[in-house]
């Protein structure tokens, strides 16, 4: 069995447009890609790939799925073989063995970290609005920075109270285990100590150390003397004592690409110079900072639409850019750019524009990041803000249109940028100029595509007034040296594991079940809404009332509303596949979770996976009619109305079926007593159906 972690790596690396692109010529159409289906003959393209959703779908033959499914279909492989094929393609080393009980527990532990991180985000956000301290300090800081209310809520910003165990205490009281709070990096665990507590700067010392370590901080059972002994405010549980990692800080939740909270950044508002300005979550089982970009979840849709990603340094840079209407922006969160972060961007675009502030020393130190981008085969441009400005400050000083124009007019390719920046150091020194040229050629040599290398060599030749042939000769020398080094290193690689595994053949396509009842269309529509929007919140009337005796409105997931409506009338799905998906939502909601379509796309039941792809796919996209002052209503804008319509339609159809059965029985001339009962039942059903038709806006013509 292939390890779950390795499967996750394969799913993360295997971009569906890249895998499909090896077999199909794809052209951009809106946010999707389109091409001729590789599974059946066609002259007009009906084969769509959605990079955002990570799926492909042919509206001609019906084939669809994710990158793994595509390889299985195209290469006639089993699921494990398809995983091995893609692991080889993306140079992912996989380990295969039987899962032990401990490994199964590890998977559960990982999910628990997601759960406590989500709870922490909600707690910090609630502090911002529901506590005096949060309002005056946390919310006051964000307002002072100029952040609008909608932006604060969009990024789920928050505040951790100065009571050093406030969060941990409420989390444990709510039922979350201290073990997972510590593992998630939210809580610090320590032993009792006879000495008096240290100064209030102890946490800040930890914060500075935390910025330079990738290990989870836990003192219990570490075998070393504790470096942080909390104050009397720290909480205690079963002999162990706990303190919040982020006490007294405004909070920036960090999301993964699917929108789940995996870590936090905390900024102090204290003026003490010994206090670390920012501390971040330590590395955990769900947070590897070298593979994460702040804001990627909020940016990915616009990155694909604009086919470009702006890269900035900090949290507030991202937030301010969003507030200015530029959403295709992410941040490396103050760390040096890594290959993992670049590959994350490459899932959505091949173009990166790096936005630097006016600090030339910092920019020169970042040249390594530019080289990494080039080495990954991506196109890179660079923008330098005026002295003393950064994306955060500049976006607040100018209008949205001025910011967009400035970025458009001042973005330069990396050669022009590097040359203009370093020419001041070269002046008339021929040795320094030769060194600069060599440095630029070394960067060009990293580019995998020969055509792009040739174009950049011509550009370098023009700017530096150097013969193109000399530059090509130097470039080939550098590439030849790197190739030889790579070949030598490959001779020492570990032997490939050739052990074959016996696996059951995976049924590629399950036959659709035919229904005896004719409510499939209505059932299908409800499942479609659940898969697309089940985790989206809608506003409903709660059980409590306000001072005017009016119901207090609350937000609940659309899936919870659907289940409530269906269970109220004891409605059960007759299509077994739809029933299975519905039950998954019920089971997840019992655990206060709501699965999204990604969960079902990668479901172990291939029939559920294929159905999910089918129901979330759409060959059509809406043009930008707003520029013509034509405004359209999207389904996601009227989710509650859409759900009620679908539920009422199913109930109406079920009534029609019941009425049909009664009429069929009446034609058989049943006994008088039964006939009277049937007629009374039919009358009541017709009355109810009429009421539903009114709710559905249907007009019945007699």
The per-residue pLDDT for range 318-327, each reduced to its tens digit, is 999 999 999 9
Confidence class of residue 233 from pLDDT cuts 50, 70 and 90? very low
* Mean pLDDT, the chain, integer: 81
Answer yes or no: is pLDDT of 121 > 90. Answer: yes
What is the greatest pairwise CA distance in the chain? 112
Q: What is the pLDDT of residue 89?
A: 86
Write out the two tokens for 37. Answer: 């289906």
Dist. CA 499–CA 197, nearest whole Å: 57
The lowest-confidence range among 108-117, 282-291, 356-365, 583-592 is: 356-365
Segments in 261-348 forming alpha helices (H): 296-306, 315-323, 339-346
Helix (H) or strand (E) holding 554: strand 551-557
Confidence tier at 235 by pLDDT (50, 70, 90): low
Tokens matching residue 698: 């249907």
- Can you tell me the distance from the alpha carbon of 93 to that of 89, in angstroms, rounded to the nearest whole number? 11
Q: What is the pLDDT of residue 255?
A: 93
What pLDDT, on the 0 to 100 scale, is given for residue 693? 82
CA-closest candidate to residue 371, choices 479, 476, 444: 444
- Name the segment(s) of the chain with CATH classification 3.90.580.10: 4-89
Distance between CA 356 and CA 358 in Å, rounded?
Answer: 7
Query: What pLDDT sits at residue 125?
Result: 95
CB of 461 closer than 8 Å to CB of 468: yes
CA distance 376 to 370: 10
Confidence band for 71, pLDDT divided at 50, 70 and 90: confident
Mean pLDDT, range 517-524, rounded to an integer = 78
Q: What is the pLDDT of residue 510?
A: 35
pLDDT class of 498 with cuts at 50, 70, 90: very low
Predicted confidence (pLDDT) at residue 514 exceeds the cutoff of 50: no
The CATH number of domain 298-487, selected from 3.30.450.20, 3.40.50.2300, 3.40.50.150, 3.40.1360.10: 3.40.1360.10
Q: What is the pLDDT of residue 474?
A: 87
- pLDDT of 422 over the 80 cut: no
pLDDT at 149 over 90: yes
pLDDT tens per residue across span 190-203: 865 545 444 444 44
Annotation: CATH topology of 4-89: DNA Primase; Chain A (3.90.580)
Asked which of 207-216, 307-316, 684-693 is least confident by mean pLDDT, the reply is 207-216
Give the confidence band of 496 by pLDDT, cuts at 50, 70, 90. very low
Contact 46, 25 (CB under 8 A): no
Q: How many CB atoms neighbour CB 561 within 10 A?
A: 20
- Average the pLDDT over 328-332 and give the result: 93
Numbered ranges of CATH 3.90.980.10 in the chain: 108-287
Radius of gyration of the chain (CA): 30
The reported pLDDT for the residue numbered 308 is 92
* Class of the CATH domain delimited by 520-535+561-618+632-696: mainly alpha
Q: Using CA atoms, how far apart are residues 11 and 297, in angstroms rounded to an integer?
A: 17
pLDDT digits (tens, 9 = 90+) for 240-271: 689 999 999 999 999 987 788 999 999 999 88
**What is the predicted pLDDT for the residue at 104?**
54
> Cβ(344)–Cβ(288) under 8 Å?
no
What is the model's pLDDT at position 329?
A: 95
Position 118 scores a pLDDT of 93
Please state, in angstroms and rounded to a whole number, the distance separating the CA atoms of residues 280 and 186.
10
**For residue 360, what pLDDT is reported?**
64
CATH 1.10.860 intervals, the chain: 520-535+561-618+632-696
Of 137-141, 157-161, 426-430, 461-465, the one with minimum mean pLDDT is 426-430
pLDDT at 97: 65
Where is average pLDDT lowest: 146-150, 164-168, 520-524? 520-524
CATH 3.40.1360.10 intervals, the chain: 298-487
Is the domain 108-287 a CATH 3.90.980.10 member?
yes
**Cα-flanking dihedrals φ and ψ of residue 458, to 5°?**
-60, -45
Mean pLDDT of 38-64: 87
| Percentage of the chain exceeding pLDDT 90 | 25
Pick from 134-148, 169-183, 606-620: least confident:
606-620
């Amino acid at each position: 069995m292939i390890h779950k972690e390795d499967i996750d790596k394969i799913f993360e690396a295997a971009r569906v447009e890249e895998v499909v692109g090896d077999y199909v010529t794809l052209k951009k159409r809106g946010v999707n890609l389109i091409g001729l289906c590789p599974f059946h003959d066609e002259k007009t393209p009906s084969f769509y790939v959605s990079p955002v959703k990570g799926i492909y779908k042919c509206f001609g033959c019906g084939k669809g799925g994710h990158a793994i499914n595509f390889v299985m279909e195209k290469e006639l492989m089993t699921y494990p073989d398809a995983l091995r094929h893609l692991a080889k393609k993306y140079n992912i080393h996989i380990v295969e063995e039987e899962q032990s009980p401990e490994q199964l527990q590890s998977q559960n532990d990982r999910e628990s970290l997601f759960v406590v991180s989500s709870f922490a985000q909600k707690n910090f956000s609630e502090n911002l609005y529901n506590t005096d301290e949060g309002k005056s300090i946390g919310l006051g800081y964000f307002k002072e920075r100029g952040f609008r209310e909608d932006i604060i809520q969009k990024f789920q910003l928050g505040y951790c109270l100065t009571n050093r165990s406030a969060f941990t205490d409420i989390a444990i009281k709510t039922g979350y285990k201290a073990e997972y709070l510590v593992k998630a990096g939210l809580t610090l665990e320590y032993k009792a100590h006879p000495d008096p507590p240290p100064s209030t700067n102890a946490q800040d010392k930890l914060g500075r150390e935390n910025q330079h370590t990738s290990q989870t901080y836990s003192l219990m059972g570490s075998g070393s003397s504790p470096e942080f002994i909390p104050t009397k405010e720290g909480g205690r549980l079963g002999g162990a004592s706990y303190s919040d990692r982020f006490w007294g800080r405004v909070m920036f939740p960090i999301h993964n690409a699917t929108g789940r909270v995996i870590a936090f950044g905390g900024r102090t508002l204290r003026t003490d110079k010994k206090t670390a300005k920012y501390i971040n979550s330590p590395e955990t089982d769900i947070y590897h900072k070298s593979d994460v970009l702040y804001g990627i979840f909020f940016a990915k849709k616009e990155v694909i639409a604009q086919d470009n990603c702006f890269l900035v340094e900090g949290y507030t840079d991202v937030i301010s850019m969003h507030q200015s209407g530029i959403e295709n922006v992410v941040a490396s969160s103050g760390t040096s750019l890594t290959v993992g972060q670049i590959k994350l961007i490459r899932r959505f675009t091949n173009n990166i524009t790096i936005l630097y502030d006016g600090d030339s020393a910092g920019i020169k130190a970042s040249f390594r990041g530019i080289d990494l981008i080039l080495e990954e085969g991506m196109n890179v441009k660079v923008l330098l803000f005026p002295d003393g400005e950064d994306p955060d400050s500049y976006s607040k000083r100018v209008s949205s249109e001025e910011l967009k124009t400035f970025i458009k007019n001042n973005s330069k390719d990396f050669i022009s940028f590097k040359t203009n920046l370093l020419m001041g150091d070269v002046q008339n020194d021929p040795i320094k100029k030769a060194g600069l040229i060599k440095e630029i050629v070394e960067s060009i040599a990293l580019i995998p595509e020969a055509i792009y290398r040739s174009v950049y060599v011509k550009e370098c030749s023009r700017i530096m007034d150097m013969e193109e042939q000399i530059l090509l000769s130097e470039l080939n020398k550098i590439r030849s040296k790197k190739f030889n080094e790579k070949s030598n290193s490959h001779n020492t690689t570990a032997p490939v594991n050739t052990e074959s595994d016996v696996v059951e053949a995976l049924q590629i396509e399950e036959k659709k079940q035919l229904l005896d009842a004719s409510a499939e269309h209505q059932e299908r529509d409800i499942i479609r809404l659940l898969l697309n929007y089940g985790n989206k919140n809608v506003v409903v009337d709660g059980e409590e009332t306000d001072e005017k005796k009016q119901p207090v409105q609350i937000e609940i997931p659309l899936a919870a509303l659907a289940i409530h409506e269906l269970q109220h009338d004891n409605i059960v799905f007759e299509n077994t596949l739809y029933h299975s998906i519905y039950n998954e939502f019920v089971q997840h909601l019992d655990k206060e979770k709501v699965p999204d379509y990604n969960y079902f796309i990668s479901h172990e039941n291939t029939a559920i996976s294929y159905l999910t792809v089918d129901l979330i796919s759409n060959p059509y996209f809406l043009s930008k009619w707003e520029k013509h002052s034509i405004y359209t209503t999207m389904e996601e804008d009227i989710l509650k109305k859409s759900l009620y319509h679908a539920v009422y339609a199913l109930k109406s159809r079920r009534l029609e079926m019941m009425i049909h059965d009664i009429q069929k029985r009446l034609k058989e001339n049943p006994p008088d007593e039964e006939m009277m009962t049937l007629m009374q039942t039919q009358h009541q059903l017709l009355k109810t159906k009429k009421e539903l038709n009114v709710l559905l806006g249907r007009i019945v013509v007699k």
